[in-house]
């Protein structure tokens, strides 16, 4: 008994051995990817497309500014925070990078396991001392690192947006971190599905369908959920004193929201209880990234101006989680703000749900890699 205890490896040594094997799989995978010319071509095309999007966004902003100056259009003072093109470039590039990252990541991960099975090299790894977990984690980290290279290639254009004003370096840091996390989620889904599926083409299609489910399916599910989340809210009537005055407002004040007060008795009003189905919207990758970025406080800005596209997505998520109690006019006899401050974030819930889904898929993939296999699909190559 004492001899067995002496020969048992220390916990630190066992952990080092385990992660050392994972590192070996990662290095092997990356060497195979770096020898591929197609990976470099995709990276160059990615960099060029991001640069073109940045240039076109800058040109569009400049053209709009020149047209505004030519027509002598009044500019609201509250828009001064976004007078430069930096904020617009940042949000457009961020949306573009996230969209195409969700398209590239499945291609880098969805055939990581069954591609080796089809090539006859997976069995070679399985007969070594590598465990199924080490193989799976090695494939995952290799795919994630390859995907992060595309994110690094697009980082300079996000920095350009910060340098042109309107944003801070913290916005770039948070955006890059959240984009990296979303890439990890998609790569985890791809590797897990590739371990479950027998054919590389099938796993790639299923991974793209899973990503489409997160991006588009969550929106459809949320829209359908609002149909059954009907309810009521206590509210009274709105009164707009500014509209009751006979004098017209100056032109530069026409964009300001009219101040209103709530009068009359509280009554039951029909309303959609969006807070009951907001968790469906939280799983959307665009909502997770947009809601995590710390935007400037715009609670006193003009009506209908929440910022750019990404910030508008964040505001939509905040309105959904606030429900009618925080968004319905004169709910509980109180005026409601048009712009909601970031006091109740939705992205942590969405990230937890995404990680839970990815963890489930990876666990199922780990189960399918265990040897000896009790049952294989017809036509599956063993060695």
Q: What are the phi and psi torsion angles at 157 (to 5°)?
A: -75, -30
In a domain, 31, yes or no: yes
Q: Which of 112-126, 185-199, 238-252, 304-318 has the highest mean pLDDT?
A: 185-199
Q: Is the pLDDT of residue 181 over 50?
A: yes
In a domain, 164, yes or no: yes
Question: Between residues 314 and 220, which one has the greater pLDDT?
Answer: 220
In a domain, 185, yes or no: yes
In a domain, 107, yes or no: yes
In a domain, 235, yes or no: no
DSSP H or E segment with residue 36: none
Can you tell me the distance from the alpha carbon of 280 to that of 213, in angstroms, rounded to the nearest whole number? Answer: 11
Beta carbons within 10 angstroms of residue 342's beta carbon: 16
Q: Look at residues 293, 287, 292, 285 and name the one whose alpha carbon lies nearest to residue 90.
A: 293
Question: Between residues 132 and 120, which one has the greater pLDDT?
Answer: 132
159: confidence class by pLDDT, cuts 50, 70, 90 = confident
Record the tokens describing residue 133, joined without a space.
């977990």
- Residue-number span of the structural domain to which 105 is assigned: 15-209
Bond before 312 cis per omega within 30 degrees: no
Domain count, the chain: 1
Record the tokens describing residue 343, joined without a space.
């006091």
Amino acid 209: pLDDT: 94
Amino acid 356: pLDDT: 95
CB 158 within 8 A of CB 91: no
Q: Which of 35-49, 270-284, 348-362 has the highest mean pLDDT?
A: 348-362
Looking at the DSSP bridge assignments, the partners of residue 262 are: 238
* Sign of torsion over alpha carbons 33, 38, 41, 42: negative
Q: What is the pLDDT of residues 192-245, one digit of tens each?
A: 999 888 788 888 999 999 999 999 999 999 999 888 888 888 877 766 665 555
pTM of the predicted model, to two decimals? 0.80
Beta carbons within 10 angstroms of residue 133's beta carbon: 16
In a domain, 339, yes or no: no
Q: What is the pLDDT of residues 235-275, one digit of tens each?
A: 777 666 655 554 444 444 444 455 677 877 888 888 888 88
Q: Which of 15-19, 78-82, 320-324 has the highest mean pLDDT?
A: 320-324
In a domain, 142, yes or no: yes
In a domain, 163, yes or no: yes
**Residues 89-93: what's their mean pLDDT?**
84
User: Which letter does DSSP use for residue 331 in this model?
Assistant: B
Mean of the per-residue pLDDT values of the chain: 78
SS3 category, 374: coil
């Amino acid at each position: 008994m004492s001899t067995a205890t002496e020969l048992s490896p220390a916990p630190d040594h066992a952990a080092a051995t385990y992660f050392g094997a994972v590192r070996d799989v990662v290095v092997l995978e990356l060497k195979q990817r770096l020898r591929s010319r197609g990976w470099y071509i995709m990276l160059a095309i990615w960099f060029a497309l991001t640069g073109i999007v940045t240039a076109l966004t800058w040109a569009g902003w400049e053209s709009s500014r020149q047209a505004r100056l030519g027509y002598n259009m009044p500019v609201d003072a509250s828009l001064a925070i976004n007078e430069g093109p930096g904020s617009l470039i940042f949000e457009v590039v961020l949306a573009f990078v996230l969209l195409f990252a969700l398209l590239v990541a499945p291609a880098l991960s969805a055939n990581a396991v069954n591609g080796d099975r089809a090539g006859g090299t997976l069995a070679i790894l399985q007969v070594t001392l590598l465990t199924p977990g080490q193989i799976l984690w090695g494939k995952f980290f290799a795919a994630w690192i390859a995907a992060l290279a595309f994110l690094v290639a697009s980082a300079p254009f996000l920095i350009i947006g910060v340098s042109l004003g309107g944003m801070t370096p913290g916005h770039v840091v948070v955006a890059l971190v959240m984009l990296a996390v979303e890439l990890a989620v998609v790569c985890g889904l791809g590797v897990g599905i590739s371990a479950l599926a027998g054919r590389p083409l099938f796993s790639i299609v299923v991974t793209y369908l899973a990503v489409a489910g997160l991006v588009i399916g969550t929106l459809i599910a949320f829209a359908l959920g609002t149909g059954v989340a009907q309810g009521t809210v206590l509210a009274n009537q709105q009164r707009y004193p500014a509209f009751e005055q006979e004098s017209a407002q100056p032109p530069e004040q026409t964009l300001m929201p009219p101040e209103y007060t709530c009068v009359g008795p509280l009554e039951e009003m029909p309303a959609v209880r969006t807070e009951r189905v907001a968790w469906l919207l939280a799983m959307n990758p665009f909502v997770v990234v947009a809601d995590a970025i710390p935007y400037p406080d715009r609670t006193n800005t003009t009506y209908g101006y929440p910022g750019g596209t990404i910030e508008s997505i964040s505001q939509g998520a905040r309105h959904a989680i606030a429900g009618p109690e925080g968004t319905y006019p004169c709910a509980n006899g109180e005026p409601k703000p048009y712009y909601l401050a970031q006091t109740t974030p939705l992205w942590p819930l969405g990230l937890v749900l995404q990680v839970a889904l990815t963890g489930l898929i990876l666990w199922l993939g780990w189960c399918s890699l265990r040897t000896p296999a009790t049952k294989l699909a017809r036509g599956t190559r063993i060695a």
